[in-house]
Structure 1
Amino acid sequence: MCAAIMATKIPDAPKVGMVSLGCPKNLVDSERILTKLRSDGYQMSADYAGADVVLVNTCGFLDSAKEESLEAIGEAIAENGRVIVTGCMGDEADVIRAKFPQVLAVTGAHQYEQVVNAVHDASPPIPNAFVDLVPEGGLKLTPRHYSYLKISEGCNHRCSFCIIPSIRGDLVSRRIDAVLREAEKLVAAGTKELLVISQDTSAYGVDTRHEPRLWKGREVRAHMTDMARELGQLRTAEGRAPWVRLHYVYPYPHVDHVVPLMAEGLLTPYLDIPFQHAAPSVLKAMKRPANEAKVLDRIRKWRDICPDIAIRSSFVVGFPGETEADFQYLLDWLDEAQLDRVGAFRFEPVEGAAANELPGAVPEEVKEERYQRIMEKTAAISAAKLAAKVGRVLPVIIDEVGEPDEEDGSIGATARSQADAPEIDGNVFLRDVGAGLKPGDMIDVCIEDADEHDLYGVPV
C-alpha cells in the first residue's frame, strides 16, 4: 500500500510596500533596497493594505520636500501603521519621531544594510526560499526600457544653499568596472536608455585619482570621459546603441571632450548642467564658480561641434542678496545661452544651510514675480527652439502606446526625443502609429507641430 504523499505548503512571503520620493538618485536607492529584500524572499505590495511593512524613502533637500516627506510618512501610518523611514531626511530622526513616534525605524541616506535589517526585524523573512526571486539586473521602479545608472555618492562642493554633503557625505565614486558591468547587464535585460546620475557626474573618480580597472581586457580610468566612451560601445539585443544621457554635469574643462562623443553618436546629445544663476555676485554668494561669460563661449563651441546638443539647467530665483539688476542679468544671460530646457525654483531656506545667514532676504512676493518672469522667458525660448524642429525627422523612444480609437482604429503614442529626459522634460506625441509598437521601441518620426514644451508628429 502506497504511503500518502503530503504536499509541503510554502508559507506566504511577507510583503513590503515602498514610497520613493525625491530625485532619481533616491529612486536608485529604492531599487537597490527592494532588490535585496526580494532576494531575501519578500514580495512587493502595490498598495498599503497588502503590505506587512511600508518603506518611505524621503527627500530632505528643501523644506518643501521635507514637508512632502512628512506627509507621506503620515499617510503611510494612517493607511498601514507599520512604517520604516529611510533616505535623506533619515538624518533628522528626532524630527520624524517627534511627529510620528510610532514609526518602526529611521535610517539615513543609502544605508542599505540598516534599512534591510529594519525590515527583517519588523517582518522576518521566510527561511529557505524555494525559488529564485530576483530577476536578472535586479528590481526596477522605472519602465523596462530606461534605467538610472548611479556612478557615485556624495559631493565635494560646499554650495551655500545645499545640505547634500552633510546628508550624503563627500564624493565616493564606484569602481569603473562595476559601473560598466551594471550598465552592460541593464542593456542585456532590455534597457534602451541609460541615465547617468550622481551629485556631480563631472567629478567622477576624483576621489580615487581616476583609478583604472581592467575592463574587456584593457585598462579604463574612473573618469567621466572614459566612462562615456565605454558606455557608447554598448549595444541592445537589436544591435542598436542605447541612448546614454548625462545628468548633473558641472561644466569642468573636460566636459569639452565629451561633446565630440555626442557628435560621433556614442552619447545622447544632451547635457544637464546645474548652472543655478548667472550674475557673478549671486554665484559668489552661492559659493559656485562665477565664469558665466566663459560658459557662454563654451556653449557656442559645443553647438558648433554638435548642433543638435540639448542643454537643460535649473536656476534659483530670490536668493539672498539678489537684486533686480542681478535678476535682469540672468534673464539677459538666458537670451544669450538659449538653453533648451530650463527649470526654476524659488529660494527656500533649508535648515543647516549657510545661505540662511546671508543678508538681503528677498520678499516672497518678489520671488514669485521673478519666478513668473523667468518661466515666461524660458517658455518663449523653448517654443522658438521647438518650432524650428517642425518638418524635421527625429529619432524618438516610445514610452507609452494608447488604445485604438473606437471610431477609426487609429493609435496614438507618447514618446521622447533625444532632447527629452523622462519625467522632467517634454514629450513627442504621435498619431497613427503601428499596432505592433511597444514601449522602448526606437523609431524615426516627422515633426508636424510644436508648442512651448512638446512636439507632435507621425512615424516616418
Structure 2
Amino acid sequence: MATKFPDAPKIGMVSLGCPKNLVDSERILTKLRSDGYQMSADYAGADVVLVNTCGFLDSAKEESLEAIGEAMAENGRVIVTGCMGDEADLIRAKFPQVLAVTGAHQYEQVVNAVHDASPPVPNAFVDLVPEGGLKLTPRHYSYLKISEGCNHRCSFCIIPSIRGDLVSRRIDAVLREAEKLVQAGTKELLVISQDTSAYGVDTRHDPRQWKGREVRAHMTDLARELGQLRTAEGVAPWVRLHYVYPYPHVDQVIPLMADGLLTPYLDIPFQHAAPSVLKAMKRPANEAKVLDRIHKWRAICPDITIRSTFVVGFPGETEADFQYLLDWLDEAQLDRVGAFRFEPVEGAPANALPNPVPEAVKEERYQRIMEKTAAISAAKLQAKIGRVLPVIIDEVGEPDEEDGSIGATARSQADAPEIDGNVFLRDVGEGRKAGDMFDVVIEDADEHDLYGAPVQD
C-alpha cells in the first residue's frame, strides 16, 4: 500500500517595493519551504498570505495598505512584514484581523508567525528546497544583497529609521552566495544594498579568507572577486552595481569595467545637482567634482552606462535651482534617468522645511526633466545604431503566424531589468531561451529602447 503523505500547508506571497524587499521575500520563502510549506500562486489556495510591504513614500504605503486589504478580502489569513511593519498600530487599526505584523528583514519573526498561524507538517521523505533557495526572479538573473541599513541621514528619507544603520554581510558569505547563484544558472548578478559604496565600513572592512587569499569587506575587493566568477560554460556573468554613492574609491572599479570583469554600469542616486538643494537634502555630494569624475570614468571606459534618479519639487527648490539641475544634466549626459516628484513622508525631517513647492510647479518641473532626459537618451541610443552589442534574453516570443519568425525581448549591458530599456530582437531563430547571451547588431532606436537582430555567423 502506497504511503499517503499529509498535505503541506500553502503560503501565498505579495512582495512590494524595491529589489531589496524581493530578496527578503526570497529568503522568507526559502526558509518556509525548508520547513515543509508549499507555495500558492493564488489567494484561494493559500492557508496564509504574506504581504511584504514598502514604506519609502506615502504613495508606497497606500499601495501596501491596498495590497493588505485585497489579501484580507480574498483570503482573510494575512501576515504583514516589511518596511511598514514599524507601523503596526496603523495596520491593526485598519485591519484588526491580521494575524501578525513584523518589521523589515525580521525573517525569524515572520517564520514564527507562519508556524503559529499554520503549523508545518513534518515530512522526512521529501526534499522541498532546491539548492540555492527559492527565487522570485527569473532563473538567469539574481539580486545579491550585501548589506542592510544606511548611515546617511538624508532629510527626505526614513529608511534608516526602518532598517537601521549599515550592517554589512561577511565578504566570504556574499561571495559564497554569488558563486552558488552562478553555479545554479544565474547569468547576471545585480549587487544591491542601501549604500553599496559603504560596504564594510561598519566592520572596518573585516578581511576573510576566500579561495586561499585574503579579501576585505570593501566594494573594490568585492567587485574584483565577483569579476572572477564563471558560469558552467566558462563565461563571465554580468555583474551590475546598484545604489553606488560616488565616493572616491568608486574610481577604482572603473578599470575593472574597462577590462570586462564588471558590467560597465553604475547606478548612482544623485537626487539633485543644485548645491542649496543638496544641502537641504543632507546629501553627501559635490556636483562639480562629480562632473569631472564622470568625464574621467568615460575616458577610462567609454561604454560605461550611468543611471540615476532625481527628486523635483523638494522644499525650497527655486526655478534657478531646477534650471541648474537641467544644465547639469546637459553636461553630465547620463544614460538612464528616473525622476519623481517630492512627497512628504511621515517621520522625514524634510516635511518641516520651509517654502514647499506647489503641486502644479512640481508637475511642470517633472515633465521638463523627463523631456530633457528622454532627448539625451534618444541621442545616445541613436549613436548605437550599427554597433554590435552583447545582449541577454529575458523572454522569447511565439512564432509569427504568417512567416514563423520568432522575436525576443532582451537587454544590453546598459539595461538593468525592470528599470531600464530593452533590446527588441527580430528573427532570433528556434531554440533560443531566457538567459541566452549572444551578440546582436543594432538596427534602430527610440527614446528608451533598441531594436536589432542576431549577428549572422
The offset of 1:434, in angstroms, is 1.6
The offset of 1:130, in angstroms, is 1.5
Instruction: Report the Cα distance in structure 1 between the residues aligned to 2:232 and 2:428, rounded to whole angstroms.
Output: 23
Q: CA deviation digits over 1:175-210, x for unaligned, max 9?
A: 000000000000000000000000000000000000
Tell me whether 1:125 sits opposite 2:120 in the alignment. yes
Tell me the secondary structure at the aligned position of residue 315 of structure 1.
Answer: strand
Instruction: Report the Cα distance in structure 2 between the residues aligned to 1:8 and 1:44, rounded to whole angstroms.
Output: 22
Q: CA deviation digits over 1:58-106, x for unaligned, max 9?
A: 0000000000000000000011100000000000000000000010000
Q: CA deviation digits over 1:14-54, x for unaligned, max 9?
A: 00000000000000000000000000000000010110000
Tell me the secondary structure at the aligned position of residue 49 of structure 2.
Answer: strand
Tell me whether 1:52 sits opposite 2:44 in the alignment. no
Residue pair 1:317, 1:344 contacting (<8 A) in 2 also: yes
Instruction: Report the Cα distance in structure 2 between the residues aligned to 1:51 and 1:290, rounded to whole angstroms.
Output: 47
Q: Which range moves more in the overlay, 272-281 or 286-295?
A: 286-295
Q: CA deviation digits over 1:393-413, x for unaligned, max 9?
A: 000000000111111000000
Tell me whether 1:362 sits opposite 2:352 in the alignment. no
Instruction: Report the Cα distance in structure 2 between the residues aligned to 1:195 and 1:129, rounded to whole angstroms.
Output: 35
Tell me whether 1:34 sits opposite 2:26 in the alignment. no
Residue pair 1:41, 1:129 contacting (<8 A) in 2 also: no
The offset of 1:435, in angstroms, is 0.4
The aligned residue for residue 237 of structure 2 is 242
The offset of 1:128, in angstroms, is 3.3
Tell me the secondary structure at the aligned position of residue 258 of structure 1.
Answer: helix
Residue pair 1:246, 1:272 contacting (<8 A) in 2 also: yes
Tell me the secondary structure at the aligned position of residue 98 of structure 1.
Answer: helix
The offset of 1:238, in angstroms, is 1.0
Instruction: Report the Cα distance in structure 2 between the residues aligned to 1:340 and 1:292, rounded to whole angstroms.
Output: 17
Tell me the secondary structure at the aligned position of residue 129 of structure 2.
Answer: coil
Instruction: Report the Cα distance in structure 2 between the residues aligned to 1:410 and 1:177, rounded to whole angstroms.
Output: 46
Q: CA deviation digits over 1:322-344, x for unaligned, max 9?
A: 00000000000000000000000
Counterpart mapping for 1:4-403 below 5 A: 6-403=1-398
TM normalised by structure 1 equals 0.98
Instruction: Report the Cα distance in structure 2 between the residues aligned to 1:271 and 1:204, rounded to whole angstroms.
Output: 15
Instruction: Report the Cα distance in structure 1 between the residues aligned to 2:20 and 2:51, rounded to whole angstroms.
Output: 15
Tell me the secondary structure at the aligned position of residue 72 of structure 2.
Answer: helix
Root-mean-square deviation (CA, aligned residues, Å) is 0.5
Residue pair 1:59, 1:89 contacting (<8 A) in 2 also: yes
Tell me the secondary structure at the aligned position of residue 437 of structure 1.
Answer: coil
The offset of 1:214, in angstroms, is 0.3
Tell me the secondary structure at the aligned position of residue 24 of structure 2.
Answer: helix
Q: Structure 1 unaligned segments of length 5 or more: list them.
A: 1-5
Residue pair 1:321, 1:360 contacting (<8 A) in 2 also: yes
Instruction: Report the Cα distance in structure 2 between the residues aligned to 1:225 and 1:186, rounded to whole angstroms.
Output: 21
The offset of 1:9, in angstroms, is 1.1
The offset of 1:8, in angstroms, is 2.6
Instruction: Report the Cα distance in structure 2 between the residues aligned to 1:129 and 1:418, rounded to whole angstroms.
Output: 44
Instruction: Report the Cα distance in structure 1 between the residues aligned to 2:129 and 2:209, rounded to whole angstroms.
Output: 28
The offset of 1:273, in angstroms, is 0.1
Residue pair 1:213, 1:221 contacting (<8 A) in 2 also: yes
Structure 1 runs of 4+ aligned residues shifted over 4 Å read none
Q: CA deviation digits over 1:273-296, x for unaligned, max 9?
A: 000000000000000124101000
Q: CA deviation digits over 1:225-271, x for unaligned, max 9?
A: 00000000000011100000000000000000000000010000000
The offset of 1:127, in angstroms, is 1.5
Q: CA deviation digits over 1:376-430, x for unaligned, max 9?
A: 0000000000000000000000000011111100000000000000000000000
Residue pair 1:48, 1:76 contacting (<8 A) in 2 also: yes
The aligned residue for residue 414 of structure 1 is 409
Instruction: Report the Cα distance in structure 2 between the residues aligned to 1:424 and 1:291, rounded to whole angstroms.
Output: 26
Instruction: Report the Cα distance in structure 1 between the residues aligned to 2:2 and 2:320, rounded to whole angstroms.
Output: 79
Residue pair 1:428, 1:454 contacting (<8 A) in 2 also: yes
Instruction: Report the Cα distance in structure 2 between the residues aligned to 1:224 and 1:444, rounded to whole angstroms.
Output: 30
Residue pair 1:13, 1:41 contacting (<8 A) in 2 also: yes
Instruction: Report the Cα distance in structure 1 between the residues aligned to 2:429 and 2:133, rounded to whole angstroms.
Output: 31
Q: Structure 2 unaligned segments of length 5 or more: list them.
A: none
Q: CA deviation digits over 1:335-375, x for unaligned, max 9?
A: 00000000000000000000000001000000000000000
Instruction: Report the Cα distance in structure 2 between the residues aligned to 1:27 and 1:18, rounded to whole angstroms.
Output: 11
Tell me the secondary structure at the aligned position of residue 404 of structure 1.
Answer: coil
Tell me the secondary structure at the aligned position of residue 360 of structure 2.
Answer: helix
Tell me the secondary structure at the aligned position of residue 307 of structure 1.
Answer: coil
Residue pair 1:16, 1:52 contacting (<8 A) in 2 also: yes
Tell me the secondary structure at the aligned position of residue 378 of structure 1.
Answer: helix
Instruction: Report the Cα distance in structure 2 between the residues aligned to 1:100 and 1:130, rounded to whole angstroms.
Output: 39
Tell me the secondary structure at the aligned position of residue 67 of structure 2.
Answer: helix
Sequence identity percentage: 93
How many pairs align? 455
Instruction: Report the Cα distance in structure 2 between the residues aligned to 1:392 and 1:290, rounded to whole angstroms.
Output: 35
Instruction: Report the Cα distance in structure 1 between the residues aligned to 2:86 and 2:429, rounded to whole angstroms.
Output: 50
The offset of 1:7, in angstroms, is 3.2
Q: CA deviation digits over 1:129-157, x for unaligned, max 9?
A: 32110001000000000000000000000
Tell me the secondary structure at the aligned position of residue 336 of structure 1.
Answer: helix
Instruction: Report the Cα distance in structure 1 between the residues aligned to 2:7 and 2:370, rounded to whole angstroms.
Output: 52
Tell me the secondary structure at the aligned position of residue 453 of structure 2.
Answer: strand
Instruction: Report the Cα distance in structure 2 between the residues aligned to 1:289 and 1:400, rounded to whole angstroms.
Output: 39
Residue pair 1:210, 1:223 contacting (<8 A) in 2 also: yes
Residue pair 1:161, 1:350 contacting (<8 A) in 2 also: yes
The aligned residue for residue 435 of structure 1 is 430
Instruction: Report the Cα distance in structure 2 between the residues aligned to 1:335 and 1:172, rounded to whole angstroms.
Output: 37
Instruction: Report the Cα distance in structure 1 between the residues aligned to 2:100 and 2:382, rounded to whole angstroms.
Output: 52
Tell me the secondary structure at the aligned position of residue 60 of structure 1.
Answer: coil
TM normalised by structure 2 equals 0.99
Instruction: Report the Cα distance in structure 2 between the residues aligned to 1:459 and 1:16, rounded to whole angstroms.
Output: 41
Instruction: Report the Cα distance in structure 2 between the residues aligned to 1:391 and 1:257, rounded to whole angstroms.
Output: 31
